[in-house]
A and B are shown apart, each in its own frame.
Chain A
Amino acid sequence: MDDPLLIAGESFNSRLIMGTGGMPSLDVLDRALVASGTELTTVAMRRVDPSAAGSVLDLLAARGIRALPNTAGCYTAAEAVRVAKLAREALGTNWIKLEVIADERTLLPDPVELLAAAEQLVANGFVVLPYTNDDPVLARRLEQAGCSAVMPLGSPIGSGLGIRNTHNIELIVESAGVPVILDAGIGTASDAAIAMELGCAAVLLATSVTRARDPELMAEAMRLGVAGGRLAYHAGRITRRRYAQASSPPTS
Chain B
Amino acid sequence: MTVVVNGEPHVAASPMSLADAVALLTAAPTGVAAAVNGEVVRRAEWTSTQLADGDEIEVLTAVQGG
Contacts and interface: CB of A to CB of B under 8 A. Distances in A.
Interface of A: 19-23, 26, 29, 42-50, 52, 55-57, 67-70, 72, 82-83, 85-92, 97, 99, 206
Contacts of A87: 33, 60, 62
Interface stretch (B10-18, B24-32, B48-56): B24-32
B58 interface: yes
B6 A90 contact: no
A44 B64 CA distance: 6
B63 A89 contact: no
Given A45-B63, A50-B26, 10 more contacts: A23-B64, A44-B65, A46-B65, A47-B60, A50-B25, A52-B63, A69-B62, A82-B40, A89-B43, A91-B62
B64 to A, nearest CB: 4
21 contacts: A42-B66, A45-B62, A47-B7, A48-B6, A48-B32, A48-B59, A50-B25, A55-B28, A56-B62, A57-B30, A57-B62, A69-B62, A70-B65, A70-B66, A72-B65, A83-B60, A85-B40, A87-B33, A89-B33, A89-B40, A90-B61
B19 interface: no
Q: Is the interface of A mostly helix, strand, loop or mixed?
A: mixed
Interface of B: 6-7, 25-26, 28, 30-35, 38, 40, 42-43, 58-66
B38 A46 contact: no
A57 B60 CA distance: 13
A169 to B, nearest CB: 20
Contacts, number: 98
Given A45-B60, A48-B26, A90 B31 contact: yes
B25 A44 contact: no
Contacts of A48: 6, 25-26, 32, 59-61
A4 to B, nearest CB: 23
A43 B35 contact: no
A156 B42 CA distance: 36
B58 A19 contact: no
Contacts of A47: 6-7, 58-60
Interface centre among B6, B35, B60, B65 (most CB of A within 10 A): B65
B25 to A, nearest CB: 5
A19 B25 CA distance: 26
